[in-house]
Each structure stands twice: as C-alpha cells, then as structure tokens.
Structure 1
Amino acid sequence: MKFISSIVIAAALLPLSLQAKEISGVELVKTLTLNEQPLVLNGAGVRSKFFIDLYVGSLYVPTVIDNTAAVLAADNVAVRLNITSGMITADKMKEAINDGFDDATDGNTEAIQAQIVQFMQLFSAEIVDGDQFTLLASKASGVTAFKNGEAQATIASEPFRQALLKIWLGDEPAQNSLKEAMLGQ
C-alpha cells in the first residue's frame, strides 16, 4: 500500500510539463515522432463555433516556440486536429479550410491553388467524431497529411506549407484563442 501511495505522490509532484494533458476530452501526447522527427507539444486549444467544441488543435515543434514567425522558420512542425464533434462534415471542413487559405494569403490563393485542390482530397471521405488529422509541415519535404495515423499525401511547396500553418497561426487565424493556446500564450 505504501508503494502505491508513493507512486501517486510522485506522479502528483511531477512538473506539469511531464504530465499528460487533456483538453475537451482529448488526451494529448506530449511528444510524437513523424517521419523520424521527434516533436514536443507546444500548446493546444479548442476550436469552437456557437458554443460547440468542434476540434482540439495542437501544435508540435522541435523545441518550445511562442510566435508565428518562429513556427514558420522551424524545419519541422506539426498541427494536429482531433475532431470532437459530429457536426463537422467533409464539406464543412473543406469550406473552413478554403476560408482559412483565403485568410492566410490575403485572398491570393492562385499561386497555391493546385496544392489546395490536392490537399482537399484528404477530406473526401466522411469525417466522424474521433477522427484525427496530423499535418507535418517540413521545409525539406513539404506537408505530409495523416488521417488517423496513416499517411495520405505529401504536398511539396513552401508557399503552401506557410499558408497552411497560417490558417491556425497567422494574422487572421481560424480562432484567436486557439492560436494563442497553440503558441502556449
């Protein structure tokens, strides 16, 4: 019994950075490795609309980063979206992503339109509560999209990579509070 009590006390004394993090019912891993690149959880928050939680967005980086410029300059970062609402459909996700690209590029999506069309194929199958999308943004290879842990496609384009990250972290993000949470602010 003393042994179990000691374990519980030791776990409670661990720094918060080492303890698991849960947001809106989603357990977030503190580290993940994608394409042999180890990344740490930088921050996470909830994307909500009309008081409904839609998804948990999290940002994974090589080392802690607190601003968009540093995220864009990093060799590898990942945005993870954990769907928490059945209200998100493939069509609604496509519409939101298109709006996000429009905001991220100040309405100038023409230069990356072919990559946007390719990226939208990730959302061709129905989206259900519990789905997970992970977007590894690498300066070397572009954006590799994963759905529920399985690689779907890689889009090699630096302007596309930057625009994609700006959907959540740019001057006109999907939601300001989500941006701040992902940047750990």
Structure 2
Amino acid sequence: MILIRTHAIRTPFAALTLGLALIAGAAQAAQTTTRFEPMLQVQGTPLLLNGAGTRFKAIFKVYDLGLYTSKKVGTPEELIALPGPKRLQFTALRDLPGTDLGRLFIKGMSENSPKEMVQKHTLSATRLIEIFSGRSKMAAGETFAMEFVPGKGTTFYILGQPQGEPVGDAEFFAMVLKIWVGDAPADHLLKAALLGRDKE
C-alpha cells in the first residue's frame, strides 16, 4: 500500500512538472532574440511573418528562424501547397561552423523526404553545402536566408547578399521547408512556432 500511495502522489507531480516544462519550452521557441519584421517583399509580393521561433539543441540556442508566406498557414500541407514566394530568415545565436550547418540541412532533408526525391535534387543540395562550406563559420548575430520564387528557384543569402544564381524548383524548396515542418523536424517546438501553433 505504501508503494501504491507513493506512486499515486508522484505521478500527478511528475505530470505537472512535465507539463510546465513543455509550456516553458514552447514559450522559449516562440520568444526570439531576433526582431523579425511583420512583413517584407519578395519580387514585389508582400509576405507576412507566418511564425518565428528559436532552434534549441539541448539547452543551447542555435539560431532564430522566421517563416514568411503570402498568407497565414497552420499546417505543413497548407504551407507546401501555398503558391507564391516564400522565405526562411535566420539569425545565428552562436558561432556555427559552415560545413556543419550545410550537412545538418542535408541530413534534415534526407530524414523528411523520400530517398529518390533527395537523389533527384542532388545538384541543388550540393550547392547548398558549397555555399555554407565556403565560410568557416556563421558568427553569432549574422544572418542568412533561403528564398523561393516560382519559376526562378531558391536563392541563398548570407548577410543579405545573394550567393549565386537560384537553384532547384518548387519540389526542392518543399524539401527545404520540411527540414523544419516535416514529420521529423529539426525541432518540434520550432515547427509549432513557425506554423503559428505554439499558442494553441
């Protein structure tokens, strides 16, 4: 009886502790250090800040990320199907080795898209690695972005400067988006924040 009573006491406490931790984590993901503009323009198209959050690895902040879309969406399916330009805007919150960053993005694509699709877009994915590997690191406070424009492809930016010509198509950028909103996202709390679901 003593063991049963002790378990009965500890279980609600453990559940409460876990619940508070999840709430705190969600709040952390939603409250970014970076101030993201509520609206920006891409190729003359106004985009809204759909959501923003912080990528955590263990207890460490890695980067802030804002997702810009032509209208608000709340699910990965709506996001992928949404026509028009889209933009992912990042701010590094700690020094990030360029090679590691590129490889992590490729790993995220591989974990969220079929192998055949990843292989189909090898050239575009290789370009992504080349761009970030070309820098020894992204220093804390530096910005980078990935911007998709229909009919042109995805342009990578570092410190506001385009890194070469656009690559890939809509399918490639959908693979990029799934790094953060796919079934195996880089950070589940960040996924919720980008889709505006962290307040639900």
Which category describes the TM-score, using the shorter chain as reference length?
0.7 to 0.9
Choose between structure 1 and 2: higher helix proportion: 2
Match of 1:102 among 110, 119, 128: 110
Choose between structure 1 and 2: higher strand proportion: 1
Give the paired residue count. 163
Following the alignment from structure 2 to structure 1, what is the Cα–Cα distance between the partners of residues 34 and 113?
A: 31
| Percent of residue pairs bearing the same amino acid type | 22
Superposed counterparts of 1:4-23, under 5 Å = 23=31
User: Structure 1: which 5+ runs fail to align?
Assistant: 1-21
Match of 2:85 among 67, 76, 85: 76
Rg (Cα) greater in structure: 2
Q: Partner of 1:174: helix, strand, or coil?
A: coil
Superposed counterparts of 1:29-68, under 5 Å = 29-68=37-76
- TM-score, normalisation: structure 1: 0.82
Match of 2:190 among 161, 178, 181: 178
Following the alignment from structure 1 to structure 2, what is the Cα–Cα distance between the partners of residues 23 and 44?
A: 8
User: Structure 2: which 5+ runs fail to align?
Assistant: 1-29
Task: Tell me which stretches of 4 or more aligned residues in structure 1 moved more than 3 Å.
Answer: none
Query: 2:151 aligns to what?
Result: 140
User: Contact 2:143–2:159 at 8 Å: present in 1 too?
Assistant: yes
Following the alignment from structure 1 to structure 2, what is the Cα–Cα distance between the partners of residues 115 and 101?
A: 12
Q: CA deviation at 1:98?
A: 1.6
Following the alignment from structure 1 to structure 2, what is the Cα–Cα distance between the partners of residues 100 and 134?
A: 16
User: Contact 2:109–2:175 at 8 Å: present in 1 too?
Assistant: yes
User: Contact 1:142–1:157 at 8 Å: present in 2 too?
Assistant: yes
RMSD over aligned CA atoms reads 1.6
Q: Partner of 1:129: helix, strand, or coil?
A: coil
Q: Partner of 2:163: helix, strand, or coil?
A: strand
- TM-score, normalisation: structure 2: 0.76
Following the alignment from structure 1 to structure 2, what is the Cα–Cα distance between the partners of residues 41 and 127?
A: 23
